[in-house]
Structure 1
Amino acid sequence: MYPGPRRTLPANNNFAVTSLIQGILGVLNAFIVPGLGFILGVMACIFGGLGMSRANKVGKGQGMAIAGIVLGPIAIILNILAGIVWAGINS
């Protein structure tokens, strides 16, 4: 008996997906929970870099990784602005 054809799983880029989701959540949480949005923005940048590295190997997820890399700094800037606004309101 010969074994059947090997099934290979499609290569995924979970780092890119994670980066995109964290970037979106970081921007959305900018004025709701400023500290959380800042952390998500930083993590979106980190996972975006890992996603780009993985995209070069796998060939998938480059757009999502770039979107996460772009949304990460936007989330960080919005969170800093939200912190300044919050400090101005409460002073």
Structure 2
Amino acid sequence: MPPPPIAPDGPGQVPYGYPGTAPAYGYPGPQQAPYGGVAPYPTAPGYPWPGMQPPPSNGMGTASLVLGIISAVGFILWPIALALGILALIFGGLGRGRAGRGEATNPGVALAGIICGAAGIVLVLGLFALLIATGA
């Protein structure tokens, strides 16, 4: 039996079981892959759908805050605190840049990391000034 004729304004609703259609209920059926094979279902768990925004990349701002806090609190260990303070400034700048481009959602955390890193550097420099002034 041939398929029903097509109306002038389009095919309308295709009857159930018509060749080349997806199942009417449930999960969509297999899709055609290139070279005639059957493609897997749309995507694997954990991968975004097409057109979906990637998750924010907040690692730089968070790392900046953690390093800045460690630098400010542990300024007595001056070589480590100085290195961590410099890294906090660098990571905080990178985190603020990502937030400005919309790739991250934590510009305040990155700014707090910059402030804490700068405070750690200032405390280390103050410790040097105190040591030089006292002649120790």
TM-score, normalising length from structure 2? 0.58
1:4 aligns with 2:49: no
Among 17, 21, 25, the residue aligned to 2:70: 25
Q: Unpaired segments of 5 or more residues in structure 1?
A: none
Higher relative contact order, chain-length normalized (CA < 8 Å, sep 6+): 1
Q: Report the equivalent of 2:126.
A: 81
* RMSD between aligned residues: 2.0
1:43 aligns with 2:96: no
Q: Unpaired segments of 5 or more residues in structure 2?
A: 1-29, 32-40, 49-53
| More helix per residue | 1
Provide, for residues 1-34 of structure 1, a one-character-per-residue CA deviation record: whole Å limited to 9, x for no partner: 1423563362222111111111001001112x01
What is the aligned-residue identity percentage? 28
TM-score, normalising length from structure 1? 0.82
Larger Rg: 2
1:58 aligns with 2:103: yes
